[in-house]
Structures are given as C-alpha cells and as structure tokens.
C-alpha cells in the first residue's frame, strides 16, 4: 500500500485507516458520503429498481471503455457497437455483481476472473497476471482487505482502485479491472448496495485529473495518496449525480 504514514491516529496495522486519516480527508469524505446518501438513501421518496442498476452498469461500462482508449456511448454499446475492449467492458459489467461472493472470499481470484471476462478473445493472457511484482502487490492488498479497518467504504474503494492500477499485475487493461473492482467494493461495503451510482462516469468526466491523481498515488508517498483520495472524493460525488436515481436525471 502506498503512502504509509507515521504519526497517524489509526492503528498501524490498518493502512486503509492510515490513509483515510490524512489531513483534511475525514471531513472531506464525510461530506462526500452525506451527498451520496442524500441522493440514494432517501427511502421515503426514491427506490431503486433492477432497471436502475442495469442502466448504471451499462453507462459505467461505456465510461470505463472510454478511459481505456475505446470511446463508445452507452447507447452504442447496448446496440452491439464498440471495439473488443468496449465489448469486454460490457461483458464485465454484466458479470460483476455476481462476483460479490468471490470477492469476499478471494479478491485476487475475483480480479483474475474480471480480467478474463473483459479480455477473453483478444488477450493471450486473459485472466492470468504476468507481472510477478504486481501479483505480490495484489496479494498484499488481499491481506489488507481481510483485516478490520477504520476507513470508510469510499476510501477503501478508492484505494483498491489505485492499488490495482499501480500494481499492473495484468499485461493489459489493469484500469478496466480496477474500476470494476472499485464499483464492487462500493457494493460490498454498503456504500451503494444496489450499484446505482456510476463511478466510472465520475472518473471519465475528468480524465486528465484522473490520470494525474493515479500518477501521484504511484509515487508511494503520503502526499500522493492524499492527492488521489482528494480527487476520488470528487469523482464519487460526480458518480452519485450521474446515477439514474439522481433527482437531476428524473
């Protein structure tokens, strides 16, 4: 994990908590979560449906493919358009929520399955990590995910995303897998159990900022981790606004 910090108030065996406690982040993420809950959790006024989830997954697949260099709209993707990467992103979105039990049991196995689903047919290494150092890093991530943490689910999701990209365990499309994993963590941690926010759209709205923040995280410094998490909080807010249940879309 990047950006380990001495002097943190959280347990030293909780790197997610250490990152979440960096200056300014606790209040920032509390505000982000409040904004998400305002949109998604007013149960007296709004309810989610399977169609809402399907719409979010489709729009997320299109946005994630675009970030991977394969521009496509959700309508085009739904109508069978798009290159192999875009269609792989769509396949992954269709299988993603079924991987919740696998993720809870073995995150690395779930990541391999994500990569296989997304790249089968055009990658000779579909589902097989090829970078030994990256594999080791994913193993460490899985160990950390198995421990209790004081970090909010949003922070865990953002750090999982950045770790997978930075590890680079797969030969191709680590970003596609990372964004899918981020969405899955939002489900598992209860931030968005119906998966109706669209985190991929939140990132695609600011592609330069997204890449710059990931580069900062890759420096393995506390400042880089802080920059990534500050950026990610804004992306999560955009993800909620992009939700099919957002008042702005109804």
- Reading the block at residue 42, the tokens are 């007013």
Residue 89 neighbours by CB distance under 10 Å: 31
> What band does 250 get if pLDDT is binned at 50, 70 and 90?
low
Q: Within a 13 Å sphere around the CA of 205, how many CA atoms are in the beta-carbon half? A: 18
Whether 2 and 225 have beta carbons less than 8 Å apart is answered as yes
What is the C-alpha to C-alpha distance for residues 93 and 96, in angstroms, rounded to an integer?
Answer: 5
Instruction: Classify residue 170: in a domain, yes or no.
Output: yes
Q: How many domains does the chain have?
A: 1
Q: Examine residue 178 and state whether it is found in any structural domain, yes or no.
A: yes
Measured CA to CA, the distance from residue 67 to residue 169 in angstroms comes to 18
- Taking only the tens place, the pLDDT of each residue in 101-124 is 999 999 999 999 999 999 998 888
Q: Is residue 240 part of a domain?
A: yes
The two tokens of residue 88 are: 């792989």
* pTM confidence score: 0.94
Pairwise CA distance, residues 102 & 111, whole Å = 9
- Within-domain flag for 4: no
- Residue 9 belongs to some domain of the structure: no
Is a pLDDT exceeding 70 seen at residue 11?
A: no
Residue 16 is given by DSSP the state: H
Instruction: Give the domain CATH number at 164.
Output: 1.10.3290.10
Q: Could you list the residue range(s) of the whole structural domain that residue 20 is in?
A: 15-249
Asked if residue 244 belongs to a domain, the reply is yes
Res 124: pLDDT: 85
In a domain, 2, yes or no: no
207 C-beta neighbours (distance < 10 Å), count: 12
Query: What is the average pLDDT across 151-169?
Result: 98
Tokens describing residue 45: 């006024």
pLDDT higher than 50, residue 3: no
Look at residue 42 in the predicted model and tell me its pLDDT. 63
For residues 63-82, average pLDDT: 97
**Rounded to the nearest 5 degrees, what angle is found at the Cα of 17, between the Cα atoms of 11 and 20?**
140
């Amino acid at each position: 994990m990047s950006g380990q910090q001495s002097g943190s108030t959280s347990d030293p065996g909780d790197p997610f908590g250490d990152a979440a406690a960096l200056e300014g982040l606790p209040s920032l993420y509390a505000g982000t979560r409040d904004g998400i809950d305002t949109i998604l959790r007013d149960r007296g006024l709004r309810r989610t449906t399977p169609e809402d989830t399907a719409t979010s997954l489709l729009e997320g697949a299109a946005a994630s493919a675009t970030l991977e260099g394969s521009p496509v709209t959700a309508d085009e993707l739904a109508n069978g358009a798009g290159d192999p990467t875009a269609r792989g992103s769509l396949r992954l979105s269709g299988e993603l929520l079924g991987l919740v039990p696998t993720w809870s049991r073995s995150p690395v196995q779930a990541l391999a399955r994500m990569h296989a689903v997304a790249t089968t047919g055009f990658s000779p290494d579909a589902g097989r990590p090829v970078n030994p150092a990256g594999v080791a890093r994913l193993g460490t991530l899985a160990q950390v995910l198995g421990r209790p943490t004081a970090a909010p689910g949003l922070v865990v999701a953002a750090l999982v995303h950045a770790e997978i990209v930075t590890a680079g365990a797969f030969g191709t499309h680590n970003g596609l897998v990372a964004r899918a994993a981020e969405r899955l963590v939002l489900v598992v941690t209860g931030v968005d159990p119906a998966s109706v926010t669209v985190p991929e759209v939140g990132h695609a709205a600011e592609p330069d900022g997204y890449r710059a923040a990931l580069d900062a995280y890759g420096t393995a410094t506390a400042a880089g981790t802080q920059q990534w998490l500050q950026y990610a909080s804004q992306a999560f807010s955009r993800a909620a606004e992009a939700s099919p249940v957002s008042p702005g879309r109804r």
